[in-house]
Structure formats: C-alpha cells, structure tokens
Amino acid sequence: MHITMSKTLSLALLFVMIGPLALLPVMGQQAQRVAIDIAHYEIDVDISPQSNKLSAITDVTFKPLSDTRNVTFELNGSLVVESVERVIPPPPQPESTPAAAPIPTPARGRAPKPPVTAIKVPVRTFQTLSFVQDRVGMTGLGPIVRVDLGENFAAGSEVIVRFKYSGILVDAQGGPLLTKRLAFIGPEEGYLQYAARWFPFNEYAADKATGRIRVGLPNDVKLATGGAEPPSLKDGKHEIVHTKAGLIGNIAYGKFDERNLSFGDIKVDVFTRGMNEPIVNEIAEVIGRAYEFYVAEFGEPMTGRRISVVQTDEEGLDFYTGPGIIFMANRFFDQNREFAAERLQREVAYQWWMHTVGLKSFDDAVISQGLAEYSAILFREKGASDARIESLRRELLEKSLTFEQNASLARAPATLDDQSTAYQYVMFGKGPMVFSLLRETMGSDKFKTFLRTLITRYRGQNLSLVDFENYASEAHGSPLRYFFARWVEGTGVPEFRADYDIIRTRVGKFVTRGTVRQNYDNLRLPVDLLLRAEGDGATKLMTVNIEDASADFYFETDGRPLEVIVDPTFKLLRTSDELRISSVARRGIEQLKEGNLAQAQIQLEEALKLDRSNGWVYYHLGLLHLQQRNYDLAIDNFKTITQGIKKNARPPWIHVWAWIKLGNAYDAKGDRTRAIDSYKKAEELGDEYDGARAAIEKFLATPFDPRIQN
C-alpha cells in the first residue's frame, strides 16, 4: 500500500541543521534527489514504553546510482536526528608474512621463549557529517534527512552512514498519514511498521534490503515479528535477522496471549490481547487455506511458511502486511468476520505479489495490489457453484465501474490518494478485473502457467509494468500492447449490444442470426453469448471473438428465442444501463459489509432514485434495515422482491434469499407464523445458492434471533 506523506508539523519544526549551511544545497533542490540502492541495515533500537520513546542507532549500507556528494533519506518527522556519521571500514590488511625474528641463544638448560608480537586489530573509524532534517516535508518528498557525505562518491561505491536519532511516537504526527498512525510506542503495547519510516529509507515499497534489527524491550512484554524464523535473544536484546532482501522493519510488542497454530505445514502465530480461541482458530484456518492454495497456484513464497498475525488498535490501518506478518485492527477479531476473512485472503497473497516479486516503483502498484486481490478472488471461486462464481464476478464488475473514470490503473498511484475510496475501487476492483480479462484473452491454462513462471523468473527481483507486459506478450506468443493500452493505461469501458433477426425454418426450428457490437475500435476479446428460448431450460451458449468492433453469431433452437444475453456470467469489463445503477449501489453494499450503516443507506437510496424497480437495491436496503432492527422497513423491501416474478429476478438467487431474510425479519418481530410461511416459500423454490437449503432448515428448526450472530 502506498502511504502518501502528510504535512502535519508546525513550521517551527521545519529544519534541524548540523554543520555549516554552505555545504548543503537549498532545500528546494531536494526534489531532484540522487537515486541510491540500499543493500543492508544494522539497526539497534531501544523502546521505552512508559515514556513512549524510541531511541535508535542505524547503520545504512548503500550505493549511489550516480556520482554524488549529497544523499537523501526518508525519516518519520516525529524522530529527531542527533548525529550522522560516515562509517569508514578499516583498510585491507596486507597478506605478506613478516620476516622471522632471530631466535636468541638460550641459557644452559632453558628452552627459548618465543618472541612476543603485538597483534594490531583493524578498527572502523567515524567521520562526522553535516545534514539537514526537514521534519515537515516541505519539498513534497515527505519528512527527510539530507546528508552531505563530505566528498564525492562515484556511482556504485559502497557507503555506510550511521544515524543516531530518537523521538516520541504516540500519534499520526510525523508519519505518512494525517489520521492513521503506523508507529506507536505505548505503555502496554506498540508497533513499528515499515511504512512509518521509523528508520531511514529510500523509495517506498521498492528498495528492498537485508538487515539485522536488535530490539531492547522490558522483560514483561512479548515481541512479535514476521519471517521464516522467530527472533532470538542475544546479549539482553531480541535479534531479528533478515538474510533475504525485503521491506523489513515490521515489529510489535505487548502483553500478548500467543497461540502457535499449524495448518498442514503452514505455521500461524497469533498475538492477541485476550484469547478468543474460536476466533483465533478461524483466523488461522482462513490464512492456512489461502496459503495452501497460493502455494499450489504460484509456488513457494520467499517469506517461507510461517506468518504472524498481530492484533493492533483502532488508531492505525485496518490491515497492514509485511514479510511474514499481518497487522489486523482490533474490531476484526470480534465483528465483520466475513469482511475480515476476505481481507486476510488478500493480505496473505502479498507474500507472493510484493514480498516475493517486488515493484520497481509504486507507480507499478497494480502488479502487487491488483494481483493480490485477483488471487483472493481465485481462491473464493475454487469449489464454488456456478451461481456463486457469477455473483462474485458481478460484484467485481460493479466495483470496477464505480470510480473507473477517475484514473487509469497506470496513473492511479500518482494521481489518487491511496487511502481514498476512489483509489481502493480502481486498484482492488478494476485491477483484478483486468487480470481476469487477461486470463480470458490468453486462455486460463496459459495464464496460470504465466503467473507461476513469473514468480520463478522474477523471484527476489523488482518488476515494472513494462516488464510485466513484455513477459505476458512473450508467454502469449504475440504482442499484447493493444490490451495494456486499453485496460491498464486507459479509462473507459465498452458497452455491448446484440442486434439479431429470428427466422423460422421449414422444418420448424428457429434460427437467430445477428451481430454483437461495442463502441470501441481495436478491441480484441472473446465474448460469451447466451440464447434463452421457450421451453424449460432451453438455453444455448457460444463464444465469439471480437477482433475490432463487432462479431457475428448464429444460433439454431427448437423453441422460440426470447433474448440474447451478452456476457451472461460477467467475465468482461463492460457497462450497461443496469450496471450503471448497480455500480452506484455497490458503494452502499461495501459500506454495509464494513458496518457503516448510515453511509450505506445514503448510497443505496441514491441508487434507488435511478431505478425504482431494482430488486438488487431493495434486497440490500432490506439487509440494512434488518441490521438497524427496523423490521417493518426490512419487510417492505424484501416483499418488493418476493412479490415479483422469479424468472425476472436479477441475480436469480435473490428471490430465495429475499424469502429467507423476510422470514428473519418476521422472527425478529416475534411473528413466528409468518416467518415459517416465508421459510417454506423459500424451500419451495428449490434454489440452493450459497447454502440456502441449510439456512432454511436452520431457521425452520430455530427462530432467527437478532441479538446473537446467526
């Protein structure tokens, strides 16, 4: 996730300066900072919970990518740099053997004593450097430290710089977000996340490094980290060693209850503030199942098969993931469980699509964020019914359309705040939808092989969108420039229509001949067409390939054709009158899933203004009122669907679930007779979508109770 730096400190804190100003260029020139590549960190940090203080000495080993005297690092604005030094390694020692000293003649009866030679151990030396610290981020780079190295260094030279700094970390001030803290030192618990910039680093999400972190903590708290191996205790400090380059520096401490669980050979360590065993087991199972699926699909992640889950507070992000560790806000441990499970599936996928294959720049974020959500959706589709898969795809399409015009996938990281609703929908809606579309274009088997070999080829390396496109074209066997220009670099989606004629043949059959058209040039896509005809279950499915703007089709049926449906299972990124309304409703549905009922109601009522006959909107308004315990309004909304014609319901499963939820509303009011009647009406439909039959049997046996989770 990209974290845009905020300017929250007062101007009085703008500069901390050491050394003569004449040695440093003006701050306005810092936007053109020299690129560097950080290779390794040695971090020695002491955490003082009672005083909310962090104190650290950090050695940064890096190479400038061009000749330079000045380098710039990002650092949290709440941390004050006390000194910066260049670490000068000792000169290499000559390998020549010194001449042997003459051995004196011993006195009679005594053995000669060997000569005593003083061994001179080479030591490092330190050179004090001048620096400027901007704790506000006036240059647009965020809070930074600009260092004068004292002399020019050629590109590729290895340089080691030591920073000594400290500060109070209690709120979002100084961090990258205005209202969410990513670093916190509290008396009972705390956490330090990579994105908080709590140690000097470069090029967010792209510049990976190895490292050793030594953490000093009071004895009465536990330390939680991520990685293949847990930390060790050495010389009174917890030592975390990262031998593989990554986005390191994610730790938490607290008086945790710790559970070490296994799901197959996946190790899941859960750190909570009070053990709720059923929820902890559920979290471990969600993570374990997703991990197993991704290993089978993509191969082994670089981070190994051990992952930690840490319960954090409500002041930070809902979820944050580092190599082998997931931070999860407190409320997801006891509510919004379905939402939490879906998010965990995405967070686990980052172990492949961020921490195994990295990014060359955050501008390439769709590779990480889009593929992580694509992987999670692929996992949800495994073993699901056709109706469930269709529902998942429709949901994804609605998300894709909601803010599609705001920015392209390629431009979203640069033009949208990554914490904004628009960014979330573009990246996690349109992103996975485009990867699904690429799967349809390349073919499922070829695309699956492509992703697996992508992990192998770029393992431990960083990837750009250009690299991704080139390798996809290579795997496809022909250039995919047209695809990436339309779907990744552009905005706008096509609208399809089917024009056709129906002819009765001499032998009594019906021929439907026509053309499917869309409104963009140079569009190349496989398009599914479904013909519905008279007669029970009389449908025919075919796929045509659009090579520019249209494609012809031909059906022959026994029954009279009723309609031709373009893309019946929502595989394509497209729009229509119905989808335009549904995409407005989708904002409300997502707010409802997250428990934001007031915002959900506003969005759903806006969608209803566009189409007063939309059962999809009425159903979710019914769910909302049921959660609000406004049972009469819930009943009114569900009845709008149950009193309609089942074959006209969109999606089809909405009819059976409207009857079930209508029964729930009657049960909540204490009207058991009408509740049972509703459940039996649902049973008569014979629709088993998403466990409908099991739900009916459950509520026929035991009334729905709104005071408990059912």
For residue 521, with 0-12 CB atoms within 10 Å meaning exposed, 13-18 middle and 19 or more buried, which class applies? exposed
Q: CA nearest 409: which of 476, 468, 459?
A: 468
Determine the pLDDT at residue 335.
65
What does the alpha-carbon distance between residue 13 and residue 77 come to, in Å, rounded to a whole number?
9
Q: Which whole-number Å values give the CA distances from 233 to 40, 107, 221, 374, in the listed order?
A: 21, 54, 13, 39
Q: How many helices (H) and strands (E) does the chain have?
A: 17, 29
Q: Which residues pair with 321 in a beta bridge?
A: 326
Residue 112 Cα distances to 72, 100, 102, 345, 673, angstroms? 61, 15, 11, 75, 111
State how far the Cα of 267 lies from the Cα of 305, in Å rounded to an integer. Answer: 6
Measured in degrees and rounded to the nearest 5, phi and psi for residue 639 equal -65, -30
pLDDT band at 21, cuts 50/70/90? very low
- How far, in Å, CA of 349 to CA of 293, rounded? 10
What DSSP state is assigned to residue 324? Answer: T
- Identify whether 561 is preceded by a cis peptide bond (ω within 30 of 0): no
Element (H, E) at 320: strand 319-322
Q: What SS3 class is residue 533?
A: strand
Residue keyed to tokens 């380098």: 71
Phi, psi of 336 (to 5 degrees): 50, 45
Residue 344 neighbours by CB under 8 Å, 6+ apart: 283, 286, 287, 290, 319, 326, 328
Helix (H) / strand (E) element for 661: namely: helix 654-669
Q: What is the pLDDT of residue 613?
A: 83
Task: Name the DSSP letter for residue 331.
Answer: G
Print the SS3 string covering 249-274.
CCEEEECCEEEEEEECCEEEEEEECC
User: Would you place residue 95 in the very low, low, confident or very high pLDDT band (cuts 50, 70, 90)?
Assistant: low
Q: Which has more pLDDT, 607 or 674?
A: 674
pLDDT of 220 over the 80 cut: yes
Residue 145 identity (one-letter amino acid) = V
Using alpha carbons, select from 531, 536, 614 the residue that is nearest to residue 565: 531
Token pair of 382 as six digits? 């495994």
pLDDT at 105 over 60: no
Helix axes 365-381, 386-402, angle to 10 degrees: 150
Task: Specify the 3-state DSSP secondary structure of 283.
Answer: helix
Q: What is the DSSP string of 69-129?
A: EEEEEE--TTEEEEEEEEEEPPPPPP-PPPPPPPPPPPPTT-PPPPPP--------EEEE-
Taking only the tens place, the pLDDT of each residue in 564-616 is 999 999 999 999 988 988 888 888 888 887 778 888 899 899 888 888 888 88
**Pair of tokens at residue 687:** 């629709």
Most confident range, picked from 191-200, 687-696, 699-708: 191-200
Tell me: pLDDT of 175 over 60: yes
Contact (Cβ atoms closer than 8 angstroms) between residue 80 and residue 133: yes
pLDDT of 99 reads: 52
Mean pLDDT of 618-635: 94
pLDDT number for residue 333: 84
- In the three-class reduction of DSSP (H, G, I as helix; E, B as strand; rest coil), residue 481 is classed as helix
189-218 core/surface letters (b: 16 or more CB in 10 A; e: else): bbbbbbbbbbbbbbbbbbbbbbbbbbbebe
Weakest-pLDDT range from 349-358, 409-418, 526-535, 607-616: 607-616
C-alpha Rg value of the chain to the nearest Å = 31
Read off the pLDDT of each residue in 400-419 and give the average, rounded to a whole number. Answer: 94
Q: What are phi and psi of 93, to 5 degrees?
A: -85, 140
Q: Give the rounded distance of the alpha carbon of 353 from its chain centre.
A: 9
pLDDT in tens, 486-514: 999 999 999 999 999 999 999 989 999 99
Residue 322 and residue 303: Cα distance in Å, rounded? 10
Q: Which residue has the higher pLDDT, 232 or 103?
A: 232
Q: Tell whether the model's pLDDT for residue 223 goes beyond 80.
A: yes
pLDDT of 646? 60
Mean of per-residue pLDDT scores for the chain: 89
Would you place residue 228 in the very low, low, confident or very high pLDDT band (cuts 50, 70, 90)?
low
Looking at the DSSP bridge assignments, the partners of residue 551 are 516
User: Is pLDDT at 113 greater than 90 in this prediction?
Assistant: no
Closest CA to 56 of 295, 280, 249: 249
pLDDT in tens, 121-167: 678 899 999 999 999 887 777 899 999 999 999 999 999 999 999 99
Q: Is 506 exposed, middle or buried (0-12, 13-18, 19+ CB in 10 A)?
A: exposed
Quote the pTM value. Answer: 0.84
